[in-house]
Structure formats: C-alpha cells, structure tokens
Amino acid sequence: MVEITFSQSIGSVLTLEKRAQLKQIHEDLYSKKGKGSDFLGWLDWPSTLDSAFMEKVEKTATQIRDKADVLVVIGIGGSYLGAKAVLSALDPYFKKETGLEVVFAGHQVSGEYLKQLLAHLDGKRVMVNVISKSGKTTEPAIAFRFLKDYMEKRYGQEAAERIIVTTDAEKGALLTLAEENGYERFVVPADVGGRYSVFTAVGLVPIAAAGYSIKDLLAGAADAEKVYNNINFDENVAVQYAAVRHQLYVEGYTTEVMAIFEPKLSFVQEWWKQLFGESEGKEGKGIFPASVSFTTDLHSMGQYIQDGKRNLFETFLLVQEANEDLTVFEAENDGDELNYLAGLSLQEFNHVAHKGTSSAHLDGGVPQLSLTIPKIDEFQLGHLLYFYMLSCAYSAYMLDINPFDQPGVEDYKNNVFKLLNKPGF
Ligand code: PA5
C-alpha cells in the first residue's frame, strides 16, 4: 500500500466539484468510454492473466538462465524502461558473481556503447530479447541488426534458438523477421501501449529471466488494481495523488520534481518521467516531470529547489524499511567528529534528511507530497507501478487529454526519416 501525505489538506483539494469530475473519470475509465480507451488493456491485466501465459514466461526464463550468462534486452521507451526500473530496484548495487547478467541495448544510438557491448559478450553465453511493439522503431532495429549478425556469426543455425522477439501479434518488420527465422515470440497486446506494458511479456520476460518473482510482482499489481478501483476518494490514494498534482498545476506549479533517498529507485524515476511526460504533455498542457536523487542532489539541484523559480512542487518517494543497513559506530578517536551519530542507522539518517529537506523546501515555497512504500521488493514494486499508471490516467483525463497516444514522438521520428531519406518519407 502506498501512503500519501500532502503539505495542504487533501480535503481542501477534494472539493465537491473535483469529486464529481473524478467520479466521471472513474466511470469513463472503467466503462472504457474515455479518450484513447482502446488502450486500456493494462487496467485489469494483473487480475486477468491466464496461467498458460505465466507458464510460458517462466519456462522461457528458465531456458534463458540455463543457456546464457548474459541476456541482451533490446528496446526503447516503454519497451525497456519497465524492466530496467524493476531490475535496478531489485539488483544489488555491485555486480553479482553468479546468475544471469541483463544488459540493455537499442535505448540510444551510440556506436561506442554497441561496440563495447559486443566485445563484452565475447566468451560469455548470450541470448537476446528484442522488444518493439510497432516492430519498426529505428533505435532498437539498428541494435538488433548488429546483435542478430553477431549471434549468427557466433552460433550459426543455433542463433535462432537464442533470440526471443516481443512484438505485435499481427504487424511490423520485427514480426516478419521472427516468422522467417522461427524465433520464439511473445505478444505485446494491441490494447496496451509501451509505457503501460511492464506487466506484459515486455517487462516480465527480462524480470523473470533475472530470477525475480513475477508472481509477486503481479500480485502487487493485482492488489493495487483492486484497492484503487474505488470511488471513495478519501481512501483512494492513487486518485488523491492525481487530484493534488492537478490542483498544484492549476495554481501554476508546472514542474513536478520526484525526489528519492534510495538510489536504487533512479530508474523508477526514469520510468515515471516517461509515463507522465509522454501521457500528459500534449496540446500545450501537462506537468513537466523531473527527478532528483537525495542527498546527492541536495548538493547541486537542492539550491534551485530551495531558491529558484517558484513553479516547482516536490514529490518524495520514500521507503519505510531498508533491505540492508549500517549503523554508525562509536570511534575511539572522534577525529571526524561523528560520534554524535553513533547508534544511528543510515536509513534513520535519510529519514532525518527527508524531514530537514522537506521543511527547508516548504519554507522556500515548494508545495510537497510524500509517497511512502513499506519496502523495495517485487510485490511493492508491482503495486507502486500500477498505482502510478492509474494515477497517470486520472491525471491526464483531468486535463482532458488522451493519456495513451504520443503524437509528438511521431513528429520527431518522421523528421529523422525524412532527413535520412527513408523510402516513403
Ligand atoms: O510508450 C510508448 O508507447 C513509447 O515510449 C514506446 O514504448 C517507444 O516509442 C518504443 O516503441 P516500440 O515498442 O514500438 O518500439
């Protein structure tokens, strides 16, 4: 369960008029009548998954672990950020000595990165999961061209058994390649857009391959699906989050800064930025999602947040209980003058840092929200990601925006294709 606190009272945000608007959005959402409702497949996905699909994902994950030391996941945007967010949150900070290494490609176009990645693969057993809903996105397509060539040169005919494709069921160049080469295939459901796809095969295959419990992840998401399908807005924190940020936006706070104290959540921030930025930033509207990692950024961006232009609000994403911790010990020689901290755990230090930062920023005129999760594990991450997806849909609908398309992204793609003389552009 996500706990929420807000620097003003939630009651002052949930006016009668706002409650009526939210009730209408709830009805439109769950009866699939709102804008972009063809893309609401994610809404009841966690609770309606069939066991055959889960068995196929688990079986493939086991095969990947048996046959590979490294899994290269190729994708961009929603086709990589969900898995990257969950893996970064769950993985230890420093390289695991055993187990599958998951690396990403196709999320940028860097020749240096790709060249060094190919060199990194030498001597290791490799499998590839290429993910693209449209099956024609340039960045992952370029990366896959190189990886496919590498795999074929290295494994010959066996390469086909080491490549898994996750794409649309009916169309796209990637589907054609998969069919021609007999690659194992997973489908990105037609009614689930990239940034809402973490609980489909897009996220589940890499997460399960890395050895994490997708059952727990989905149980967390299903829990959130149940808890937040609720028109009692005094209890529904997913709706409250949307309502508060909308209220702040109306008051002129047009940038939301998500602040964390646990660096493992940095890719949850990236995933969240994509989710909200790509869903809401349309028609001249939308909150600009930004992120900082504390206490690191208190020594850099903290200055701006405290004293800069007053169009920011801050949302802390906090973790109640650390998975591992250290306690400051008493040193015989107090040369560093830290003995006053003896007995304090580093997690406790961060709780204090949050309190101090929060009141300083409030004094500086930055409205605040805090979202707290009990701990970082598969269940809590599943719950949190679903929480954000649902909040995002409410939030975009409050701006009268379709949360599920991305016309601005298409503009850039078309321009690049024209500049590169792609046939047909
Ligand atoms: O959320 C989205 O729809 C986008 O960010 C896509 O995920 C991204 O553009 C990649 O698209 P595709 O999976 O078709 O390669």
Q: What is the mean predicted confidence (pLDDT) over 191-220?
A: 97
Is the Cβ–Cβ distance between 166 and 188 less than 8 Å? yes
Cα(384) to ligand 1 centroid in Å equals 21
Residues with CB under 6 Å of ligand 1 are 76-79, 132-134, 137, 140, 193-195, 278, 406, 409
Q: Say whether domain 3-34+219-398 belongs to CATH 3.40.50.10490.
A: yes
Distance separating the N- and C-terminal Cα atoms of the chain: 48
Nearest CA to ligand 1 atom 2: 194
- Percent of all residues in the chain with a pLDDT value above 90, rounded to a whole number: 90
Residue of 212, 186, 174, 188 lying closest to 86 (CA atoms): 212
Given a cut of 90, whether residue 197 has pLDDT beyond it is yes
Q: Say whether domain 45-212 belongs to CATH 3.40.50.10490.
A: yes
The predicted structure's pLDDT at residue 6: 79
Given a cut of 90, whether residue 114 has pLDDT beyond it is yes
Query: For tokens 């003058």, what's the residue?
Result: 337
Q: Do domains 3-34+219-398 and 45-212 have the same CATH topology?
A: yes
Q: Which of 32, 35, 273, 413 is catalytic?
A: 413
Q: Kindly report the length of the chain.
A: 425
How far apart (Å, rounded) are the C-alpha atoms in residues 406 and 282? 8
Given a cut of 80, whether residue 10 has pLDDT beyond it is yes
The predicted structure's pLDDT at residue 189: 96
**The Cα angle at residue 213 between residues 122 and 274, in degrees rounded to 5:** 75
The predicted structure's pLDDT at residue 149: 98
Q: What is the mean predicted confidence (pLDDT) over 28-33?
A: 95
The predicted structure's pLDDT at residue 7: 76
The predicted structure's pLDDT at residue 425: 84
Residues 327-363 have pLDDT tens digits of 999 999 999 999 999 999 999 999 999 999 999 999 9
Q: Where are the domains of the chain?
A: 3-34+219-398, 45-212
The predicted structure's pLDDT at residue 282: 94
Residues 92-108 have pLDDT tens digits of 999 776 789 999 999 99
How far apart (Å, rounded) are the C-alpha atoms in residues 8 and 26? 24
33 is an active site residue: no
Residues 367-424 have pLDDT tens digits of 999 999 999 999 999 999 999 999 999 999 999 999 999 888 888 888 888 898 988 8
Which ipTM did the prediction report?
Answer: 0.98
Residues 173-189 have pLDDT tens digits of 999 999 999 999 999 99
Cα(143) to ligand 1 centroid in Å equals 15
- Percent of all residues in the chain with a pLDDT value above 70, rounded to a whole number: 100
